[in-house]
Amino acid sequence: MSEAQALSAETRAYIQSLGVEALGDEVLWLEALTHGSTGAARDYERLEFLGDRVLGLVIAEWLYESGSDAEGKLSQRLNALVSRKMCAQIARTIGLPPHIQLGAQARADGGTDSDNILGDVMEALLGASFITRGFGPTRELVRSLWADAVSGAAGTAKHPKSALQEWAAGNRRKTPEYRLISREGPDHAARFTVEVAIKGVGEMQATGSSKSEAERLAAKAFMEKFG
Protein backbone atom coordinates (compact mmCIF):
# COMPACT_ATOMS: atom_id res chain seq x y z
CA MET A 1 0.00 0.00 0.00
CA SER A 2 1.44 3.38 -0.96
CA GLU A 3 1.74 6.18 1.58
CA ALA A 4 -1.00 8.12 -0.23
CA GLN A 5 -3.35 5.16 0.15
CA ALA A 6 -2.56 4.44 3.80
CA LEU A 7 -4.68 5.42 6.77
CA SER A 8 -2.89 7.50 9.34
CA ALA A 9 -2.06 5.69 12.55
CA GLU A 10 -4.53 7.94 14.37
CA THR A 11 -7.39 7.16 11.99
CA ARG A 12 -6.58 3.45 11.99
CA ALA A 13 -6.73 3.42 15.79
CA TYR A 14 -9.97 5.41 15.68
CA ILE A 15 -11.72 2.89 13.41
CA GLN A 16 -10.49 0.02 15.56
CA SER A 17 -11.87 1.80 18.63
CA LEU A 18 -15.34 1.46 17.11
CA GLY A 19 -15.02 -2.31 17.39
CA VAL A 20 -13.44 -2.99 14.00
CA GLU A 21 -10.52 -5.16 15.10
CA ALA A 22 -9.35 -6.24 11.63
CA LEU A 23 -9.73 -3.55 8.96
CA GLY A 24 -8.76 -5.69 5.97
CA ASP A 25 -8.32 -3.54 2.87
CA GLU A 26 -7.45 -0.12 4.32
CA VAL A 27 -7.85 1.50 0.90
CA LEU A 28 -11.61 1.00 1.22
CA TRP A 29 -11.71 2.64 4.64
CA LEU A 30 -9.71 5.58 3.33
CA GLU A 31 -12.06 5.83 0.36
CA ALA A 32 -15.02 5.91 2.76
CA LEU A 33 -13.50 8.92 4.52
CA THR A 34 -12.58 10.84 1.34
CA HIS A 35 -14.74 13.66 -0.02
CA GLY A 36 -14.75 14.50 -3.72
CA SER A 37 -13.31 17.95 -3.00
CA THR A 38 -9.88 16.36 -2.40
CA GLY A 39 -9.53 15.52 -6.08
CA ALA A 40 -8.74 11.91 -5.20
CA ALA A 41 -9.43 9.26 -7.83
CA ARG A 42 -11.90 7.52 -5.50
CA ASP A 43 -14.22 9.12 -2.96
CA TYR A 44 -16.96 7.89 -0.65
CA GLU A 45 -19.97 8.07 -3.00
CA ARG A 46 -20.10 4.42 -4.12
CA LEU A 47 -19.54 3.12 -0.60
CA GLU A 48 -22.20 5.51 0.71
CA PHE A 49 -24.68 4.02 -1.77
CA LEU A 50 -23.95 0.54 -0.43
CA GLY A 51 -23.83 1.52 3.23
CA ASP A 52 -27.21 3.23 2.98
CA ARG A 53 -28.81 -0.09 1.95
CA VAL A 54 -26.99 -2.08 4.61
CA LEU A 55 -28.06 0.37 7.32
CA GLY A 56 -31.67 0.24 6.15
CA LEU A 57 -31.77 -3.56 6.29
CA VAL A 58 -30.15 -3.74 9.74
CA ILE A 59 -32.48 -1.14 11.25
CA ALA A 60 -35.57 -2.67 9.58
CA GLU A 61 -34.71 -6.11 11.01
CA TRP A 62 -34.04 -4.57 14.43
CA LEU A 63 -37.38 -2.75 14.54
CA TYR A 64 -39.26 -5.80 13.29
CA GLU A 65 -37.93 -8.02 16.05
CA SER A 66 -38.31 -5.37 18.77
CA GLY A 67 -42.11 -5.28 18.95
CA SER A 68 -45.40 -5.62 17.15
CA ASP A 69 -45.83 -2.14 15.66
CA ALA A 70 -47.86 -1.85 12.47
CA GLU A 71 -46.17 -1.22 9.12
CA GLY A 72 -46.87 2.50 9.20
CA LYS A 73 -45.23 2.95 12.59
CA LEU A 74 -42.28 0.80 11.57
CA SER A 75 -41.76 2.90 8.45
CA GLN A 76 -41.94 6.12 10.45
CA ARG A 77 -39.26 4.96 12.85
CA LEU A 78 -37.10 3.49 10.09
CA ASN A 79 -37.13 6.75 8.13
CA ALA A 80 -36.05 8.69 11.23
CA LEU A 81 -33.31 6.26 12.21
CA VAL A 82 -31.67 6.03 8.76
CA SER A 83 -32.08 9.71 7.87
CA ARG A 84 -29.07 11.81 6.93
CA LYS A 85 -29.68 13.90 10.05
CA MET A 86 -29.50 10.82 12.29
CA CYS A 87 -26.40 9.49 10.50
CA ALA A 88 -24.74 12.88 10.97
CA GLN A 89 -25.72 12.87 14.64
CA ILE A 90 -24.15 9.44 15.11
CA ALA A 91 -21.02 10.65 13.29
CA ARG A 92 -20.64 13.58 15.68
CA THR A 93 -21.29 11.42 18.72
CA ILE A 94 -18.49 9.01 17.82
CA GLY A 95 -16.01 11.78 16.94
CA LEU A 96 -15.84 11.12 13.21
CA PRO A 97 -15.41 14.68 11.78
CA PRO A 98 -11.62 15.09 12.29
CA HIS A 99 -10.94 11.93 10.29
CA ILE A 100 -12.78 13.01 7.12
CA GLN A 101 -10.54 13.88 4.16
CA LEU A 102 -11.67 17.22 2.69
CA GLY A 103 -10.25 19.69 0.20
CA ALA A 104 -9.05 23.00 1.66
CA GLN A 105 -12.05 24.98 0.41
CA ALA A 106 -14.59 22.41 1.57
CA ARG A 107 -12.99 22.40 5.01
CA ALA A 108 -12.99 26.21 5.12
CA ASP A 109 -16.67 26.17 4.15
CA GLY A 110 -17.51 24.08 7.21
CA GLY A 111 -17.58 20.66 5.56
CA THR A 112 -16.69 18.87 8.80
CA ASP A 113 -19.97 20.08 10.32
CA SER A 114 -22.18 19.48 7.28
CA ASP A 115 -25.03 17.03 7.87
CA ASN A 116 -24.79 16.04 4.21
CA ILE A 117 -21.12 15.12 4.39
CA LEU A 118 -21.20 13.58 7.87
CA GLY A 119 -24.25 11.50 7.03
CA ASP A 120 -22.77 10.27 3.77
CA VAL A 121 -19.41 9.37 5.33
CA MET A 122 -21.13 7.51 8.15
CA GLU A 123 -22.95 5.38 5.59
CA ALA A 124 -19.78 4.96 3.53
CA LEU A 125 -18.00 3.53 6.57
CA LEU A 126 -20.77 0.96 6.89
CA GLY A 127 -20.28 0.14 3.22
CA ALA A 128 -16.55 -0.37 3.79
CA SER A 129 -17.31 -2.56 6.79
CA PHE A 130 -19.74 -4.67 4.74
CA ILE A 131 -17.20 -5.29 1.97
CA THR A 132 -14.21 -5.96 4.20
CA ARG A 133 -15.91 -7.83 7.05
CA GLY A 134 -19.31 -9.03 5.84
CA PHE A 135 -22.89 -8.49 6.99
CA GLY A 136 -22.69 -10.04 10.48
CA PRO A 137 -19.94 -7.81 11.91
CA THR A 138 -21.44 -4.75 10.18
CA ARG A 139 -24.82 -5.56 11.72
CA GLU A 140 -23.18 -5.64 15.15
CA LEU A 141 -21.43 -2.33 14.42
CA VAL A 142 -24.74 -0.67 13.54
CA ARG A 143 -26.41 -2.10 16.63
CA SER A 144 -23.63 -0.73 18.78
CA LEU A 145 -23.61 2.76 17.23
CA TRP A 146 -27.40 3.13 16.94
CA ALA A 147 -28.30 1.58 20.32
CA ASP A 148 -29.25 4.85 22.03
CA ALA A 149 -31.18 6.11 19.02
CA VAL A 150 -33.23 2.92 18.67
CA SER A 151 -33.99 2.74 22.39
CA GLY A 152 -34.90 6.44 22.41
CA ALA A 153 -37.77 8.38 20.87
CA ALA A 154 -36.45 8.83 17.33
CA GLY A 155 -39.32 8.49 14.90
CA THR A 156 -42.01 8.09 17.56
CA ALA A 157 -43.25 11.67 17.34
CA LYS A 158 -45.35 12.77 14.40
CA HIS A 159 -43.37 14.55 11.67
CA PRO A 160 -43.87 18.37 12.01
CA LYS A 161 -45.19 18.67 8.44
CA SER A 162 -47.79 15.96 9.09
CA ALA A 163 -48.71 17.54 12.42
CA LEU A 164 -49.16 20.94 10.76
CA GLN A 165 -51.23 19.45 7.94
CA GLU A 166 -53.54 17.80 10.46
CA TRP A 167 -53.75 20.96 12.58
CA ALA A 168 -54.77 23.01 9.55
CA ALA A 169 -57.45 20.50 8.55
CA GLY A 170 -58.75 20.23 12.10
CA ASN A 171 -59.05 24.00 12.37
CA ARG A 172 -60.67 24.43 8.94
CA ARG A 173 -57.67 26.29 7.58
CA LYS A 174 -56.11 26.27 4.13
CA THR A 175 -53.43 23.69 3.35
CA PRO A 176 -49.92 24.83 4.44
CA GLU A 177 -47.91 26.29 1.56
CA TYR A 178 -44.11 25.96 1.48
CA ARG A 179 -41.93 28.36 -0.50
CA LEU A 180 -38.17 28.25 -1.01
CA ILE A 181 -36.81 31.68 -0.03
CA SER A 182 -33.12 31.15 -0.71
CA ARG A 183 -30.37 28.63 -1.30
CA GLU A 184 -26.89 29.71 -0.27
CA GLY A 185 -23.42 28.18 -0.09
CA PRO A 186 -21.59 25.53 -2.12
CA ASP A 187 -23.22 22.16 -2.89
CA HIS A 188 -21.44 20.33 -0.07
CA ALA A 189 -22.49 22.91 2.55
CA ALA A 190 -25.67 24.40 1.11
CA ARG A 191 -28.16 26.22 3.34
CA PHE A 192 -31.84 26.40 2.40
CA THR A 193 -34.34 28.89 3.79
CA VAL A 194 -38.02 27.97 3.47
CA GLU A 195 -41.21 29.78 4.45
CA VAL A 196 -44.41 28.00 5.39
CA ALA A 197 -47.66 29.95 5.40
CA ILE A 198 -51.32 29.27 6.15
CA LYS A 199 -53.67 31.90 4.83
CA GLY A 200 -55.35 33.80 7.61
CA VAL A 201 -52.99 32.49 10.28
CA GLY A 202 -49.41 33.55 9.55
CA GLU A 203 -46.05 32.38 8.27
CA MET A 204 -42.72 31.20 9.63
CA GLN A 205 -39.26 30.75 8.10
CA ALA A 206 -36.47 28.31 8.91
CA THR A 207 -33.07 27.37 7.53
CA GLY A 208 -31.60 23.90 7.14
CA SER A 209 -28.94 21.91 5.32
CA SER A 210 -31.56 20.58 2.88
CA LYS A 211 -34.89 21.82 1.56
CA SER A 212 -36.74 19.05 3.40
CA GLU A 213 -35.00 19.86 6.69
CA ALA A 214 -35.83 23.56 6.30
CA GLU A 215 -39.49 22.65 5.64
CA ARG A 216 -39.54 20.43 8.72
CA LEU A 217 -38.06 23.16 10.91
CA ALA A 218 -40.42 25.79 9.49
CA ALA A 219 -43.44 23.56 10.20
CA LYS A 220 -42.17 22.93 13.75
CA ALA A 221 -41.69 26.67 14.33
CA PHE A 222 -45.17 27.39 12.94
CA MET A 223 -46.77 24.88 15.30
CA GLU A 224 -44.86 26.27 18.27
CA LYS A 225 -46.10 29.79 17.50
CA PHE A 226 -49.63 29.25 16.21
CA GLY A 227 -50.60 25.67 17.06
Which distant-in-sequence residues (6+ apart) come within 8 Å of 43 by Cβ? 31, 34, 35, 36
Q: Is 48 a catalytic residue?
A: no
Q: How far is CA 215 from CA 84, 93, 117, 160, in A?
A: 15, 25, 20, 9
Q: Is 43 a catalytic residue?
A: no
DSSP, residue by residue, the chain: --GGGSPPHHHHHHHHHTT------HHHHHHHTB-GGG--SS-SHHHHHHHHHHHHHHHHHHHHHH----HHHHHHHHHHHTSHHHHHHHHHHTT-GGG-B--HHHHHTTGGG-HHHHHHHHHHHHHHHHHHH-HHHHHHHHHHHTHHHHHTTTTTSPPHHHHHHHHHHHTT-PPPEEEEEEEES-GGG-EEEEEEEETTTEEEEEEESSHHHHHHHHHHHHHHHH-
Active-site pick, 43, 115, 123, 213? 123
- Spatial distance between the Cα atoms of 227 and 95, rounded to a whole number of angstroms: 37
Active-site pick, 31, 48, 52, 115? 52
Catalytic residue ranges: 52, 123
